[in-house]
Amino acid sequence: MSDRFTEAVGRRLVSRASAEELGNLSHLVVDVKRRQITSLVVGKGRKATVVDWDKVSGFGPDAVMVVDESALRSPEGDHEQAAAGGKLELLGKRTLSDMGNELGPVSDVVFDPEKGGLETLVIGDREVEASSLLGAGSYAVVVRAPADAGS
Amino acid sequence: MKKLLVTGTAIRGLPVVTLDGGEDVAEVRDLIYNPEAGRVLGLTLNKRGFLAGRRREVLPAEAIHAIGRDAVMIDDEDRLSPPEEAPDEVGAPPTGRDVTGNEVLTEGGASLGQVKDVVVLVGSNGEVVGYEIETASGGTGYIPLPNQLAVSGSALVVPDATQDFVEHDLVGLGAAVDDFRSRLGLK
């Protein structure tokens, strides 16, 4: 089974240990090189906290279960601060091919909820394998040019 | 095959974006063009953002991954080099290389118009495949270029065949470049 960023955002996080709701998922943070979700951002603005992927015990369709409340931590370093602020969010970000042509904004990201691996980027009506993902930053997501890019 | 082309004017102001980081580290200030070679040798840069000034570093063509319609792609920010570390042609380019305003003359002595801009192949690192010209009648035309040109600083000489390939837009030129070059016996 695959899950999608557009469906996962807003999902509640629940502590497996206490059954308490911990907040709602606002961003998924991705390691582009490994094409892997590394952490989740919970809440927004200055109150945003981070949960590392290895503290997620079950990424389910109705709730994201995390081991316990101690899994929530403050964002550390520039990269996580930027991620917590939503600056690195893939959804809605402009896509550039490595040839320097815009392909449109990222409309969805399909991922494996078991392992957190990225599977497909949806860019407009085009689907691009996650293996084509070259980089992502505050300005753009960069993908290897699909065969029909630029036409 | 139809080629996708972009004018020098459209390249100025494009963001320079890293492939690995997706960051816009600079933007194109101007093209360093060598008319004899028919190549962009490099780019000068501005800082990114509103009211930002000039960036000291230059971007040699060899360090460019691709010039596109929407961005100039580089591997990483280290590709930008201080002018003293860049090849002289890029770090301290000779003046008087601007072909804008030059008259375009065929070998047979017909004037096709004046150069307005260079036309660059999208996806290349600076291959100039043609010129935008202002024709004698005051309109805009696009002509393909051979690989080698005689350039004087006030005029440039193109093969007679160029006359048959004056296109009205970049799409037309994109389709004409290969035909033109095969007619000249180039690849």
End-to-end CA distance of chain A: 34
Domain of B12 in residue numbering reads as: 5-91
Is A148 within a domain? no
Give yes or no: residues A37 and A78 share one domain.
yes
Question: What confidence tier does A98 reach under pLDDT thresholds 50, 70, 90?
Answer: very high
| ipTM of model | 0.83
Question: What confidence tier does A107 reach under pLDDT thresholds 50, 70, 90?
Answer: very high
Task: Judge whether B17 is closer than 8 Å to chain A, CB to CB.
Answer: yes
Is A121 within a domain? yes
From the list B17, B69, B72, the residue facing A142 with the nearest CB is B17
Are A135 and B21 inside 8 Å of each other by CB?
Answer: yes
**CA gap B119, B124 in Å, rounded:** 12
Is A107 within a domain? yes
The pLDDT score that the predictor gives to residue A150 is 46
The pLDDT score that the predictor gives to residue A151 is 42
From the list A134, A137, A150, the residue facing B122 with the nearest CB is A150
Q: What is the dihedral of CA B56, B58, B63, B69, to 10 degrees?
A: 110
Residue for token pair 């630029």:
A150
Give yes or no: residues A10 and A77 share one domain.
yes
- Residues of chain B with C-beta less than 8 angstroms from the C-beta of A102: 69-71
Is A23 within a domain? yes
Residue B14 distance to chain A (closest CA, Å) = 10
Give yes or no: residues B116 and B178 share one domain.
yes
Q: Do residues A53 and A116 make contact, with C-beta atoms less than 8 angstroms apart?
A: yes
pLDDT, one tens digit per residue, over B14-72 is 999 999 999 999 999 999 999 888 899 999 999 997 777 999 999 999 999 999 999 99
- In terms of Cα–Cα distance, which of B64, B66, B40, B35 is closest to B145? B35
Give yes or no: residues A78 and A24 share one domain.
yes
3-state secondary structure of B95: coil
Eight-class DSSP state of A55: G
- Residues of chain A with C-beta less than 8 angstroms from the C-beta of B24: 139-140
pLDDT, one tens digit per residue, over B122-142 is 989 999 999 999 998 889 999
Domain count, chain A: 2
Residue A10 distance to chain B (closest CA, Å) = 26
> Which ranges constitute the DSSP H helices of B4-106?
8-11, 88-91
3-state secondary structure of A83: helix
Query: Given B64, B91, B118, which residue is the final one in a domain?
Result: B91
Give yes or no: residues A10 and A44 share one domain.
yes
Is A8 within a domain? yes
Residue for token pair 């010129």:
B131
Residue B69 one-letter amino acid: R
